[in-house]
A and B are shown apart, each in its own frame.
Chain A
Amino acid sequence: MPGAKERELRRRIGSVQSTKKITRAMELIAATRVVKAMQRANEAKPYAAQVTGVIENLAAGGASVDHPLLREVDEAKRVGIIAITSDRGLAGAYNASVIRAAERQLDAARTAGADYALILIGKKAIDYFTFRHYEIAAQYTGMSDTPTYENAREVADNIVTQFTAGDLDRVELVYTEFVTMGTQRVTVRRYLPLESTSTIAEGGSAEAGSLAQFEFEPSPGGVLESLLPRYMESRLYSAMLEAAASEHANRQRAMKAATDNAEDLITKLSREMNQARQASITTEIMEIVGGAEAMGSGDDSAIINVLENMEGATA
């Protein structure tokens, strides 16, 4: 008959084992999602590169740089902070690090005497800032797992409108950059105002670069007018795609660690359980031996007899 301790341990091993099954499944799902997310991020690259290329050519063609999105203010009165997090947890430190970086930006803005506007993507950031009674200017859920261009446009349009209207003087973008499968970095980027077109051009892929004489329709300024909003959308879209890939990579790592831990725990608990069983068997034998000795007259045959019977019973 198993002892109370042994029974308790057996129950715990069972529960750890079912947890392990769940974390293993989540790990596998995350692994396939990372691959898909990376592929999407790669497919979005040509568009972003081309848009930058056009801006590059515009700069070379001497387009006017007077655009509301380029408006630089000496002292920002209201700073927008975009934070991209996930809707679901169980992704290690993924959400916590983005939230921490966003909060640092917020504190910095407050210290400088500016107001803040939180633009939050993902339920985790919303929960965090709501719980701490921060004022949230805009919140979006259901788009961080597999962002579409439409999602990015919705958010970007909202921000660009506010910036153009003068409600925001500066916008920072906080997200997780997907460097490689093993490295993801929390990054804070200036989203608005834009650097001048020539600075954007310098960061471009420099495919053009030649001093070709471009023709523009309707005009360099007119092209820039409709191009810059696209550029904003495309930048946010790539950030969202990278964040999504990072989320899945982080979740895969977190779930792998959880599965490994569960395995270690199972080994440890099994050893403890075996020990407990051994101990109870030993105690039982001791009791039998003790009993036989008390009955017998110093003759070992009685004890051997009892033990042989027991072996037959337990085998």
Chain B
Amino acid sequence: MQVEVVSPERITFSGEASMVVVRTVGGGDLAFQSRHQPFIGVLQISQAKILNDDGGELFAVHSGFVQCHGDKVTILSDVSEAKDDIDVDRAKAALGRAEDALRADDADEIMVAAKRRAETRLRVAGATTEAAV
């Protein structure tokens, strides 16, 4: 099965995989394997996991879409970052800021999203104790 992770500025990942796991706005994880039914879904800010013969790749995907068609899964995302692209210190700082802001006002949607982005980044970078998937 062919997988592509595409962001507006470039293609982040392109290759063969046996399974792709993403999280859609519905809140649940979805796994695609070869010959999945054609599917288009809206993604949340979360990680996307691509499993292939040499293990797997993990990406932080900041909202976007997933399309499965034929034997090809495409993840379209405004921002998609591989583990090496993530600046852990910056993500930690962003998480701190978001948590501070949320203590003052826990209904601030922008900050909720910022917190989730930072958490996703840290998970993908392997900087938290929480399991990646």
Chain A interface extent, by class: 20 to 34
Interface pair A230/B9, CB less than 8 Å apart: no
Question: Which residue of chain B lies nearest to A212 when distances are taken between CB atoms in the complex?
Answer: B38
**Given the complex, which residues of B lie within 8 Å of A54, measured CB to CB?**
40, 65, 67, 76
**Given the complex, which residues of A lie within 8 Å of B78, measured CB to CB?**
149, 153, 230
A127 to chain B, nearest CB (A): 29
Of the candidate stretches A12-20, A66-74, A217-225, A294-302, the one touching chain B is: A217-225
Interface pair B41/A217, CB less than 8 Å apart: yes
A91 to B65, CA, bound (A): 39
Interface pair B74/A234, CB less than 8 Å apart: no
Out of A148, A208, A215, A227, which one reaches B65, CB within 8 Å? A227
Residue B26, interface by CB 8 Å? yes
Chain A residues 43 to 101 lying within 8 A of chain B, measured CB to CB, are: 43-44, 46-48, 50-51, 53-54, 57-58, 61
CB 8 Å contact bits of A206-239 with B (1 = contact, 0 = none): 0010001111111000110011001001100100
Interface pair A223/B42, CB less than 8 Å apart: yes
Interface pair A53/B67, CB less than 8 Å apart: yes
Residue B15, interface by CB 8 Å? no
User: Given A50-B74, A51-B76, A208-B69 in contact, is the A58-B40 Cβ separation under 8 Å?
Assistant: yes
User: Given A57-B67, A217-B25, A226-B42 in contact, is the A50-B76 Cβ separation under 8 Å?
Assistant: yes
Interface pair B26/A57, CB less than 8 Å apart: no
**Given the complex, which residues of B lie within 8 Å of A153, measured CB to CB?**
78
A262 to chain B, nearest CB (A): 38
Residue B34, interface by CB 8 Å? no
CB 8 Å contact bits of B1-39 with A (1 = contact, 0 = none): 000101111110000000000001110001000000111
Chain B interface, >50% SS class? strand
Out of B9, B41, B67, B76, which one reaches A43, CB within 8 Å? B9
B49 to chain A, nearest CB (A): 18
**Given the complex, which residues of B lie within 8 Å of A227, measured CB to CB?**
42, 65
**Given the complex, which residues of A lie within 8 Å of B4, measured CB to CB?**
46, 50
Out of A208, A212, A213, A233, which one reaches B8, CB within 8 Å? A233
Residue A185, interface by CB 8 Å? no
**Given the complex, which residues of A lie within 8 Å of B25, measured CB to CB?**
217-218, 222
**Given the complex, which residues of A lie within 8 Å of B24, measured CB to CB?**
217-218
Question: Which residue of chain B lies nearest to A222 when distances are taken between CB atoms in the complex?
Answer: B42
User: Given A208-B69, A218-B25 in contact, is the A57-B40 Cβ separation under 8 Å?
Assistant: yes
A147 to chain B, nearest CB (A): 10
Out of A40, A53, A61, A217, which one reaches B9, CB within 8 Å? A40
User: Given A50-B74, A53-B67, A57-B69 in contact, is the A214-B6 Cβ separation under 8 Å?
Assistant: no
Interface pair A46/B38, CB less than 8 Å apart: no
Interface pair B8/A149, CB less than 8 Å apart: yes
**Given the complex, which residues of B lie within 8 Å of A57, measured CB to CB?**
38, 40, 67, 69
Interface pair A47/B38, CB less than 8 Å apart: no
User: Given A40-B9, A148-B9, A149-B8 in contact, is the A216-B41 Cβ separation under 8 Å?
Assistant: yes
**Given the complex, which residues of A lie within 8 Å of B76, measured CB to CB?**
47, 50-51, 54, 230
B60 to chain A, nearest CB (A): 16
B19 to chain A, nearest CB (A): 18
**Given the complex, which residues of B lie within 8 Å of A215, measured CB to CB?**
37-40
Interface pair B40/A214, CB less than 8 Å apart: yes
**Given the complex, which residues of B lie within 8 Å of A44, measured CB to CB?**
8-10
**Given the complex, which residues of A lie within 8 Å of B65, measured CB to CB?**
54, 223, 226-227, 230
Interface pair B41/A237, CB less than 8 Å apart: no
Report which A residues bind B (CB closer than 8 A).
40, 43-44, 46-48, 50-51, 53-54, 57-58, 61, 148-149, 152-153, 208, 212-218, 222-223, 226-227, 230, 233-234, 237
**A48-B8, A218-B41 given; 14 more Cβ-contact pairs under 8 Å:** A43-B9, A43-B10, A50-B74, A53-B67, A54-B40, A54-B76, A57-B69, A208-B69, A212-B38, A215-B39, A217-B40, A223-B41, A223-B42, A227-B42
A-B contact pairs, 18 of them (CB 8 A): A47-B76, A50-B4, A50-B6, A54-B40, A57-B38, A149-B7, A149-B78, A152-B8, A153-B78, A213-B37, A214-B38, A215-B39, A216-B40, A217-B39, A217-B40, A217-B41, A230-B64, A230-B65
